[in-house]
Amino acid sequence: MPSNTRPTQAHYVAPLEETPLVAIDSVKADGKPSNLWTDAWKDVRKRPMFWISAALILLVVIVALFPGWFTQVPPNNDCQLSNSNGGPQPDHPLGFTKQGCDIYSRIIHGTSTSLSVGLIVTFIVATLGIVMGALAGFYGRWVDAVLSRLGDIFFSIPYILAAVVIMSVLSQYANVWVISLAIGIFAWPATARVLRAEILRVKNSDFVMAATALGVSRFRILVRHVLPNSIAPVIVITTISLASAIVAEATLSFLGVGLPSSTMSWGNDISQAQTDLRTAPQTLILPSIALSVTVLSFIMLGEVVRDALDPKARAQR
């Protein structure tokens, strides 16, 4: 284990008035053991932003699960070209798409697909990215070489090519899971690289040395100490990539390898509305707003969680 202090690094002693003296030798034996996650939860539930984002997400989830509660208009049947790009009418509050389908109903019914694809992809990307990035960054050497280069290979494959090949092979299984897998399997290297970089930085921190000195196992150090302190950028990227995943699903449909065209999704409607940008921008903007609101609620949630997981930021408040 190489020494982690540089010879020039001066020790810093905080001025007395900044650090009130506390008795450090007395242990509060009856208190609950402090735990990162319970601490975070205690912090989180005090914040209005958490409750706002949670309520929004809950709403989106309910819409996804029970679209019938929100609209009686069938999204895909009874589309009449005579209504093409038409404005709002009673029972059709947001007007019609180019094909004459009800926009509001399509947004409501598209929620399920878009949300599932977004969440599953995000989960796959986060899991693969965290495992690969953490191992590569923390263990270094050949582990790093193998995993990072593997990431390079995956990253260099043109996405269109991979998607068309995978989806053609699996065409009879074109469902939300397969689509999500096809998107997620090529998106993890970015997350992995960012986490790896952050771990490279964090693993030389004093608290890691302290843990090592205390005889904590390497793996436990990674999971308990290094990872929680390096996770912030991953949260930021993952919450934003939720949007990219929802849009990527549309790209696949656009390429003809996505979900069957009878499946509604926001991405599909956004990409189909593109050619009418000059004449009927509302057909594009409305599903985009649904997408934005969903992503916003997840970004806000991510923000709260990130803050809560950062003990220093918490202490500052």
Partner 1 sequence: MKIKRIGVGAIALAAAGALTLAGCSSSNEPAAEGDSTAVISVNNTEPQNPLIPTNTNEVGGGLVLQNIFAGLVYYDAEGAAHNDVAESIETDDAQTYTITIREGLTFTNGDPVDAESFVTAWNYGAALDNAQLSSYFFEPIEGFTYDENVDELSGLEVVDDLTFTVTLKQPESDFPLRLGYTAYFPLPASAWDDLEAFGENPVGNGPYMMDGEGAWQHNERIDVVKNEDYDGPREAQNGGIDMILYASTDAAYADLQGGNLDILQDVPDSALETFETEFEGRSVNQPGAANATITIPERLEHFSGEEGKLRRAAISHAIDREEVTDVIFNGTRSPAFDFTSPVIDGYSEDIPGSDVLEFDPELAKELWAEADAISPWSGTFELAYNADGPNQGWVDAVANQLKNNLEIEAAGAPVPTFAELRTSVTEETITTPFRTGWQADYPSLYNFLGPLYGTGAGSNDGKYSNPEFDALLEEGAAATEVEAGIEKFQQAQEILFEDLPVIPLWYTNGLGAWGEQVDNVEFGWDTWPILNQVTKSE
Partner 2 sequence: MAGYIARRLLQAIPVLLGTTFLIYFMVFALPGDPIIALFGEKTPSPAVVEQLRERYNLDQPFIVQYFLFLGGIFRGDFGTSFSGQPVSEILAATFPVTLRLAVLAVFFEMVAGITIGLVSGLRKGGIFDASALVVSLILISLPIFVIAFVAQFIFGIQLGWFRTTVSSGAPIQDLILPAIVLATISFAQITRLTRASVIDTDTQDFVRTAASKGLSRRRIVPVHILRNSLIPVVTYLAVDFGVLMVGATVTEGIFNVPGVGRTLYQAIIRGEGPTVVSFVTVMVLIYLVINLLVDLLYAVLDPRIRYAK
Residues that bind partner 2 (CB under 8 A): 2, 4, 6, 12, 14-15, 18, 140-141, 144-145, 148-149, 152-153, 155-162, 164-165, 168-169, 189-190, 193-194, 196-198, 200-201, 204-205, 232-233, 235-237, 240, 243-244, 247, 250, 270-271, 274, 277, 284, 288-289, 291-292, 295-296, 299, 306-307, 310, 312-313, 315-316
Of 146 and 169, which CB lies nearer to partner 1 in the complex structure?
169
Q: What is the dihedral of CA 205, 206, 210, 216, to 10 degrees?
A: -10
Q: State the greatest distance between any 2 C-alpha atoms of the chain, in Å, as a whole number.
A: 81
Residue 77, by phi and psi: left (phi above 0), alpha (psi -120 to 50) or beta?
beta
- Looking up tokens 């709002």 gives 88
The amino acid at 161 = L
Please tell me whether residue 276 binds partner 1 under the rule CB under 8 A: yes
| Of residues 74-93, those binding partner 1 (CB under 8 A) | 77-82, 84
Contact between 28 and partner 1 per CB under 8 A = no
Determine, following the binding rule CB under 8 A, whether residue 257 of this chain makes contact with partner 1.
yes
Beta bridge partners of 9: none
Rule CB under 8 A: is residue 175 a binding residue for partner 1? no
CB distance 259 to 174 below 8 Å: yes
Cβ nearer to partner 1, comparing 85 with 148: 85
Shortest separation between residue 94's beta carbon and partner 2, angstroms: 17
Q: In whole angstroms, how close is the CB of 246 to partner 1 at the nearest point?
A: 19
Count of residues that interact with partner 1, criterion CB under 8 A = 28
Q: Does 278 bind partner 1 (CB under 8 A)?
A: yes
What distance lies between CA 19 and its chain's CA centroid?
38
The angle formed by the CA atoms of residues 311, 313 and 317, to the nearest 5 degrees, is 110
Q: Which does 316 bind (CB under 5 to 8 A by kind): partner 2, partner 1, none?
A: partner 2
Q: Counting contacts by CB under 8 A, is residue 277 touching partner 1?
A: yes
First and final CA of the chain: distance in angstroms?
37
**Distance between CA 56 and CA 229 in Å, rounded?**
28
CB under 8 Å to 82, separation ≥6 — which residues? 100
Binding site for partner 1 (CB under 8 A): 77-82, 84, 98-100, 164, 167-168, 253-257, 260-262, 272, 274-279
